[in-house]
Homo-oligomer: A and B are copies of this chain.
């Protein structure tokens, strides 16, 4: 993997870069659509690529359970399995496993958990996570980390950090797929000093990139913005910086201002299935009756196939009639919007006007106070 910073904003830490993996060249800042079960829900790989996306995310936890990583490997790896010809990042499975309250047990060696599908028992260790990700054959593998609860006390967060560092070292000592990059994950909940210490520890290890984990897990959004604004610029400048599981358009814009290069979130896809569109004019609830005879496109500023083809009245009808095409079309639009947002950010950074551009976009999304905490679909 190769990463180059190509431009730096003068009024913020925002930067434009280029990430080259075995399979793709990716412009950063980049948003990765989430393909939990080796599919970006309702979309074909061709449609995902048409949005401009060249890097997507798949979930180790889900794929290890179904269809199983050995089986995916037998089918040529996750990209070939799902017919996605570009790059793939896999998470470590840790975040999902730690979300299985009551179904898991953790010690220094590994996490033992029961499958949400059939209750079967599984063990996920740092070595096993890397083995699974090697079998999946992703371009970028994430280390297994311990994600402490957002409201954890300082001592428990410190213990999670220590374990995450030890696990990171074990991940680095494990075999990987050919050409596979490995990213470390900085934890520390809302303790700035703990996060900076952890960052310093991980920065010394031979990772190709570093991520901020454990954000967007229920803490007030301003806390996250403040921490990311402090930590982002202190992350190694020559490596890609990844803010995991984030987020809303405003979250992305704030992250970019802090020098973050990579994002993923289920929001554009999950919200689409619930009838919520993200547009240059802000959020649109497709079920509202005001759309019922609207011959306007969903987003007049968008040139995606959905906005070029259908009226708001028709999209609303699909949701009211519970037709599968509704979630499908809104997902397609939302993914286009997120990629267009990233393109807009890259252009604004290159032209040294990032903050004024970002402020204008953010103004359309003022009413967003909830945080989407989901990391899978």
Taking a contact as CB atoms closer than 8 A, the residue among B75, B83, B295, B325 that contacts A309 in the complex is B83
A323 to B39, CA, bound (A): 8
CB <8 Å contact, A74 and B293: yes
| Least CB distance, A199 to chain B, in whole angstroms | 36
| Least CB distance, A115 to chain B, in whole angstroms | 13
Q: With CB as the reference atom, state the residue of chain B lying closest to A71.
A: B293
Interface residues of A in 303-318 (CB under 8 A from B): 309-311, 313-314, 317-318
CB <8 Å contact, A83 and B314: yes
Contacts of A325 in B (CB 8 A): 39, 41-44
Are A67 and B328 CB-contacts (below 8 A) given A37-B323, A39-B318, A39-B323? no
Interface residues of A in 55-79 (CB under 8 A from B): 62, 66-67, 71, 74-76
Q: With CB as the reference atom, state the residue of chain B lying closest to A317.
A: B67
Contacts of A6 in B (CB 8 A): none
Are A81 and B42 CB-contacts (below 8 A) given A66-B321, A67-B320? no
Q: Tell me whether chain A's interface is mostly helix, strand or loop, or mixed.
A: loop
A309 to B321, CA, bound (A): 31
Contacts of A81 in B (CB 8 A): 311, 313-314, 317
A41 to B317, CA, bound (A): 13
Q: With CB as the reference atom, state the residue of chain B lying closest to A66.
A: B321
A240 CB within 8 Å of chain B:
no
Are A71 and B328 CB-contacts (below 8 A) given A83-B314, A323-B39? no
